[in-house]
């Protein structure tokens, strides 16, 4: 029987790749990169062979969607930030059987979900940035699930999480489950970015304070309280992808029954107005 052996909330900001390139950001995101490497090391130690990534950079409308292709290879240049992420190589194996099973379970549970095996359906950088670093420590298959959901609600994404768990447990896979996205996500306006040193600052002190409170709740294991505020948090603090990645994560972990005490492996940091971190959610 398969199992989710580890779960994490992970940053995917473009400045991680830029941190390894010559320029003003070189070295600035090393703590976040180190967090990715540590999560991969933990996953390897626990026997993970597949990473399922709920990607808030993959925007969808009708239905839920899973990229279940068997192999992903190419060069990524971000259409959003071509000056930030350009020609990033990737070469990862997929797990089509698990991707198909997640879609089937979700649809059976009442949430219409499609798995796709299309070479022309590219992975988004919410998947490729974490994989770019984690693959250095551990070679895992990858399944990517769209988590920038524009016309969906959190109760549906909770079901996607429950379907992830059901599909994993019916398989022989050992899975690292990743919610790939920020905490607050109010990006600086174009006009205000440069005057506020936007790459390294938060756009809202209110957002920063709420982010820090969320991390306190996670570290205490008070997830029931966090879930009561999730909807308001996603709206008022502009959660990335409306935080559907986080709903999926909690759905897989047992929702408000989950009591694991989280471990912050990358200290909270601002990036382009948003709040970022890497956090391990232990799986009992």
Tens-place pLDDT, residues 12-25: 999 999 999 999 99
| pLDDT score of 262 | 98
Count CB neighbours of 3 within 10 A.
17
Above 90 in pLDDT, residue 90? Answer: yes
Residue 273 in contact with residue 228, Cβ under 8 Å? no
Nearest residue to 32 (alpha-carbon basis) of 282, 265, 197: 265
Above 90 in pLDDT, residue 198? Answer: no
- The tens digit of pLDDT for each residue in 92-140 reads 999 999 999 999 999 999 999 999 999 999 999 999 999 999 999 999 9
The span from the CA of 34 to the CA of 169, in Å, is 30
192 vs 171, higher pLDDT: 171
- pTM beyond 0.85, yes or no: yes
Walk me through the domains of the chain, giving residue ranges and CATH numbers.
3-281 (3.40.830.10)
Region 51-64 average pLDDT = 97
In angstroms, the first-to-last Cα distance of the chain is: 16
């Amino acid at each position: 029987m398969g199992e989710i052996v580890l779960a994490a909330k992970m940053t995917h900001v473009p400045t991680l790749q830029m941190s390894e390139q010559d320029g003003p950001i070189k070295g600035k995101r090393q703590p976040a990169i180190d967090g990715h490497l540590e999560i991969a090391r933990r996953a390897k130690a626990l026997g993970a062979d597949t990473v399922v990534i709920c990607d808030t950079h993959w925007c969808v409308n009708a239905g839920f969607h899973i990229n279940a292709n068997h192999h992903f290879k190419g060069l990524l240049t971000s259409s959003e930030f071509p000056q930030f992420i350009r020609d990033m190589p990737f070469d990862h194996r997929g797990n089509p059987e698990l991707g198909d099973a997640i879609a089937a379970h979700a649809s059976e549970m009442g949430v219409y979900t499609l798995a796709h095996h299309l070479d022309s359906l590219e992975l988004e950088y919410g998947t490729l940035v974490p994989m770019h670093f984690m693959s250095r420590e551990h070679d895992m298959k990858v399944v990517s699930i769209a988590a920038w959901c524009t016309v969906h609600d959190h109760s549906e994404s909770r079901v996607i999480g429950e379907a992830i768990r059901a599909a994993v447990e019916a398989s022989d896979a050992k899975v690292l489950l990743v919610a790939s996205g920020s905490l607050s996500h109010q990006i600086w306006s174009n006009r205000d970015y440069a005057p506020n040193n936007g790459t390294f600052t938060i756009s809202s002190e209110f957002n920063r304070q709420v982010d820090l409170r969320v991390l306190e709740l996670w570290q205490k294991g008070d997830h029931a309280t966090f879930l009561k505020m999730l909807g308001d948090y996603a709206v008022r603090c502009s959660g990335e992808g409306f935080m559907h990645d986080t709903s999926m994560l909690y759905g897989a972990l047992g929702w408000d029954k989950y009591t694991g005490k989280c471990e912050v492996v990358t200290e909270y940091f601002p990036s382009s107005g948003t709040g970022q971190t890497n956090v391990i959610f232990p799986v009992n």
